[in-house]
């Protein structure tokens, strides 16, 4: 089937259809506010396509896409260092498998519940589709809080989590990876237990150690990809990263490698943060300071405020986010809804020209409105942070073929994939209808472009596979 991208319906009829659709979604998924937010954002972009193409309505594609293929929920029991029994909840949301095995990270954070994971899994379906690799969408995790836990506690928790999860995953079924609170250490413990339970050594997880099936550049991929995406957006206006001042939020995996790539490309990175507050270093965080941050966060598992004690001239702003600090480029790389309307207005007023989202849904709907009204370059997470899952896809193909590609080859592929995601966003998001050109004349709504490009591929696969 070839998709006819007709968009003949008026804005008013599209808005009415979105509201009617959302009324049902909200009634069927009560209290799951993040899921409602993610679905509304996606549906607003794709409704014109759905209304204009009867085949999607006939197959109830949108209605099917907001109901997970399945939600797995289980108890995770483990023993802490004091010998006390602890109980957490574990989940895997397998959202949509139309274009490949389920794929998406695991998040360990106290805020995790089914609604959070449904929002992340819904985003993941569209994101994975955008990468052009054959991956369905899923997300999982637990309300377990890794902060302050010993290595032994983390290991016992991961083992207990896998005792249940292993039944539902496999290299051609569902391939989890990391996310907030799940990095190389946790993937290692999860993989060890999977291997013990199944007696199989295969590509069931990505983000594995480089000596046992991992891919070069997987740790760096999300952050590097978000910077490559910003480079592509800037190029449409004949601008470049070198010489720009950049604000980055978070100080975990995505933030660290976003900062690393920005520094390599000649930007001045002036902020990092965690849930306690923000550090501002107007001299710039250079490679040496970033290496210290990586040791602080990944080895000593310390807090970002310690940066201001170590590097004189840097300031710690308790409880604050980075967005009030004047910058040219902003990279929200911590968590959802970390950048709201007033933050967005502050960024724009201070001259920010480009926002590239490393995190998933970090900007609130009000913030997105501000970016779009002011026509700044806004790269939504499902496009800008897709580099992580793209290199995970490359890790899967390396595992399947028992071949390892070099760091240079993976970097070249990552760049190529980010460029193709960018060009697809332009194709479907250029408001002057100048589709198909990566250097558009008019404004590009990357949000619409990403949602529509991601949707069409999944929707067409669902139509072709029948009513299952
Ligand atoms: P990490 O756990 O490595 O780091 C998370 C960072 O965000 C920490 O600095 C953490 O601070 C901060 N953070 C978490 N929750 C909050 C909060 N509620 N308020 C303020 N700060 C917070 O996670 P990642 O770097 O892997 O993930 C960051 C974001 O990127 C997430 O949105 C994730 O979904 C997204 N993402 C990650 C990918 C990956 O490959 N890892 C791929 C695509 C998207 P603290 O220590 O105080 O909690």
For the domain that residue 86 is a member of, what is the CATH number?
3.40.50.10860
In terms of domains, do 228 and 371 share one?
yes
What pLDDT is stored for residue 5 in this prediction? 53
Over residues 334-389, the pLDDT tens digits come to 999 999 999 999 999 999 999 999 999 999 999 999 999 999 999 999 999 999 99
- How far is ligand 1, taken at its centre, from the CA of residue 361, in Å? 12
Nearest CA residue ID for atom 27, ligand 1: 180
**What is d(CA 335, CA 363) in angstroms, rounded to the nearest whole number?**
9
Is the confidence at residue 1, as pLDDT, over 50?
Answer: no
Is the confidence at residue 225, as pLDDT, over 50?
Answer: yes
Q: What are phi and psi of 392, to 5 degrees?
A: -60, -40
Is the confidence at residue 7, as pLDDT, over 70?
Answer: no
Nearest CA residue ID for atom 11, ligand 1: 274
Positive or negative torsion for Cα 237, 239, 244, 249: positive
Please report whether residue 326 resides in a domain.
yes
In terms of domains, do 294 and 322 share one?
yes
In terms of domains, do 154 and 115 share one?
yes
CATH number at 276 reads 3.40.50.720
What pLDDT is stored for residue 12 in this prediction? 82
Is the confidence at residue 441, as pLDDT, over 50?
Answer: yes
Please report whether residue 413 resides in a domain.
no
Q: Mark which of 345, 379, 413 sits at the end of a domain.
A: 379
In terms of domains, do 227 and 375 share one?
yes
- How far is ligand 1, taken at its centre, from the CA of residue 334, in Å? 4
In terms of domains, do 133 and 262 share one?
no
Question: Do residues 226 and 331 lie in contact, with contact meaning Cβ atoms separated by under 8 Å?
Answer: yes
Please give the average per-residue pLDDT across 222-232, as a whole number. 98
Residue 131, CA atoms < 13 Å, CB-side half-sphere: 31
Question: Do residues 118 and 42 lie in contact, with contact meaning Cβ atoms separated by under 8 Å?
Answer: no
* Pocket perturbation via mutation, ligand 1, pick of 335, 338, 384 by most ligand atoms within 8 A of CB: 335
Mean pLDDT, the chain, rounded, equals 96
Residues with active-site annotation: 139
- How far is ligand 1, taken at its centre, from the CA of residue 273, in Å? 10
As for how many domains the chain has, the answer is: 2
Question: Do residues 392 and 207 lie in contact, with contact meaning Cβ atoms separated by under 8 Å?
Answer: yes
Please report whether residue 448 resides in a domain.
no
* Pocket perturbation via mutation, ligand 1, pick of 220, 334, 391 by most ligand atoms within 8 A of CB: 334
Please report whether residue 261 resides in a domain.
yes
In terms of domains, do 246 and 159 share one?
no
Nearest CA residue ID for atom 29, ligand 1: 359
What pLDDT is stored for residue 2 in this prediction? 44
**What is d(CA 424, CA 450) in angstroms, rounded to the nearest whole number?**
7
In terms of domains, do 240 and 169 share one?
no
Q: Mark which of 202, 232, 262 sits at the end of a domain.
A: 202
Atom of ligand 1 nearest to the CA of 218: 40
Please report whether residue 34 resides in a domain.
no
Question: Do residues 189 and 153 lie in contact, with contact meaning Cβ atoms separated by under 8 Å?
Answer: no
Please report whether residue 101 resides in a domain.
yes
- How far is ligand 1, taken at its centre, from the CA of residue 226, in Å? 14
Nearest CA residue ID for atom 7, ligand 1: 334
Quickly list H helices, 402-445: 407-429
Which whole-number Å values give the CA distances from 254 to 139, 147, 205, 219, in the listed order? 17, 18, 19, 8
- How far is ligand 1, taken at its centre, from the CA of residue 302, in Å? 15
Please report whether residue 41 resides in a domain.
no
How would DSSP label each residue in 211-241?
GGTPPTTHHHHHHHHHHHHHHHHHHTTT--S
What pLDDT is stored for residue 438 in this prediction? 52
**What is d(CA 364, CA 37) in angstroms, rounded to the nearest whole number?**
9
Is the confidence at residue 238, as pLDDT, over 80?
Answer: yes
Could you give the 3-state DSSP secondary structure of residue 269? strand
Structure tokens at 334: 């911590």
Over residues 290-315, the pLDDT tens digits come to 999 999 999 999 999 999 999 999 99
Is the confidence at residue 226, as pLDDT, over 60?
Answer: yes
In terms of domains, do 249 and 371 share one?
yes
First to last CA, the chain: 18
Is the confidence at residue 152, as pLDDT, over 50?
Answer: yes
**What is d(CA 93, CA 119) in angstroms, rounded to the nearest whole number?**
10
Atom of ligand 1 nearest to the CA of 381: 44
Q: Where are the beta strands (DSSP E) in 55-101?
A: 70-79, 85-96
Nearest CA residue ID for atom 37, ligand 1: 179
Please report whether residue 392 resides in a domain.
no
- How far is ligand 1, taken at its centre, from the CA of residue 176, in Å? 17
Q: What is the 3-state secondary structure (H, E, C) of 293-342?
A: HHHHHHCCCCCCCHHHHHCCCCEEEECCCHHHCCCCEEECCCCCCCECHH
Q: Which residues sit with their C-beta closer than 6 Å to ligand 1?
A: 178-181, 183, 222, 250-255, 274-276, 333-335, 338, 358-360, 385, 388
In terms of domains, do 136 and 273 share one?
no
What's the domain range around 254?
221-379
* Pocket perturbation via mutation, ligand 1, pick of 106, 177, 178, 179 by most ligand atoms within 8 A of CB: 179
Work out the pLDDT band at 8, boundaries 50, 70, 90.
low
Is the confidence at residue 196, as pLDDT, over 90?
Answer: yes
Over residues 34-84, the pLDDT tens digits come to 999 999 999 999 999 999 999 999 999 999 999 999 999 999 999 999 999
Nearest CA residue ID for atom 47, ligand 1: 275
Is the confidence at residue 436, as pLDDT, over 70?
Answer: no
Nearest to 180 by CA among 244, 241, 249: 249
Positive or negative torsion for Cα 187, 223, 362, 313: positive
- How far is ligand 1, taken at its centre, from the CA of residue 107, in Å? 9
What pLDDT is stored for residue 419 in this prediction? 98
Nearest CA residue ID for atom 46, ligand 1: 274
**What is d(CA 120, CA 369) in angstroms, rounded to the nearest whole number?**
21
In terms of domains, do 110 and 197 share one?
yes
In terms of domains, do 188 and 238 share one?
no
Structure tokens at 352: 């920010």
In terms of domains, do 198 and 228 share one?
no
Atom of ligand 1 nearest to the CA of 321: 20
**What is d(CA 161, CA 111) in angstroms, rounded to the nearest whole number?**
17
Over residues 313-336, the pLDDT tens digits come to 999 999 999 999 999 999 999 999
pTM of the entire predicted model = 0.96
**H or E segment at 119?**
helix 114-130
Over residues 396-406, the pLDDT tens digits come to 999 999 999 99
- How far is ligand 1, taken at its centre, from the CA of residue 141, in Å? 13
Nearest CA residue ID for atom 20, ligand 1: 275
Quickly list H helices, 66-113: none
Q: Mark which of 379, 408, 439 sits at the end of a domain.
A: 379
Is the confidence at residue 199, as pLDDT, over 80?
Answer: yes
CA dihedral 332, 338, 344, 347 (to 10 degrees): -50
What pLDDT is stored for residue 6 in this prediction? 53
């Amino acid at each position: 089937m070839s998709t006819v991208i007709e968009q003949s319906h008026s804005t008013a009829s599209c808005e009415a259809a979105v509201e009617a659709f959302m009324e049902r979604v909200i009634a069927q998924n009560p209290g799951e506010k993040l899921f409602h937010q993610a679905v509304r954002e996606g549906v607003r972009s794709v409704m014109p396509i759905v209304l204009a193409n009867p085949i999607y309505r006939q197959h109830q594609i949108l209605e099917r896409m907001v109901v997970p293929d399945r939600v797995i929920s289980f108890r995770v029991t483990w023993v802490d260092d004091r010998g006390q029994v602890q109980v957490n909840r574990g989940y895997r949301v397998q959202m949509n498998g139309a274009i490949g095995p389920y794929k998406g990270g695991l998040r360990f954070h106290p805020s995790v519940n089914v609604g959070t994971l449904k929002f992340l899994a819904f985003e993941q379906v569209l994101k994975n589709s955008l990468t052009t690799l054959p991956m369905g969408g899923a997300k999982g995790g637990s309300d377990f809080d890794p902060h302050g836990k010993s290595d032994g506690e983390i290991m016992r928790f991961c083992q207990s989590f896998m005792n249940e999860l292993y039944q539902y995953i496999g290299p051609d079924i569902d391939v989890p990876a990391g996310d907030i609170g799940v990095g190389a250490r946790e993937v290692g413990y999860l993989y060890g237990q999977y291997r013990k339970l199944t007696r199989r050594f295969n590509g069931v997880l990505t983000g594995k150690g480089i000596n046992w099936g991992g891919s070069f550049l997987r740790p760096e991929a999300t952050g590097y990809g978000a910077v490559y995406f910003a480079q592509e957006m800037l190029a449409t206006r004949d601008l470049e990263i070198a010489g720009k001042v950049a604000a980055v939020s978070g100080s975990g995996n995505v933030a660290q490698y976003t900062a690393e790539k920005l520094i390599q490309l000649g930007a001045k990175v002036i902020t990092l943060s965690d849930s306690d507050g923000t550090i501002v270093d107007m001299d710039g965080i250079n490679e040496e300071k970033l290496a210290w941050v990586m040791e602080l966060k990944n080895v000593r598992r310390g807090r970002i405020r310690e940066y201001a004690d170590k590097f004189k001239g840097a300031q710690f702003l308790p409880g604050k986010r980075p967005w009030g600090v004047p910058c040219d480029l902003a990279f929200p790389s911590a968590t959802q809804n970390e950048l709201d309307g007033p933050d967005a207005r502050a960024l724009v007023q201070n001259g920010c020209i480009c926002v590239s989202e490393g995190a998933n849904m970090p900007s609130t709907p009000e913030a997105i409105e501000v970016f779009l009204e002011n026509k700044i370059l806004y790269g939504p997470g499902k496009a800008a942070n897709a580099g992580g899952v793209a290199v995970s896809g490359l890790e899967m193909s390396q595992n399947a073929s028992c071949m390892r590609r070099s760091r240079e080859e993976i970097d070249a592929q990552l760049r190529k994939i980010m460029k193709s995601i960018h060009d697809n966003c332009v194709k479907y998001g250029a408001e002057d209808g100048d589709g198909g050109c990566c250097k558009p004349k008019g404004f590009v709504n990357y949000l619409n472009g990403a949602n529509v490009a991601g949707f069409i591929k999944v929707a067409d696969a669902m139509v072709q596979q029948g009513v299952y």
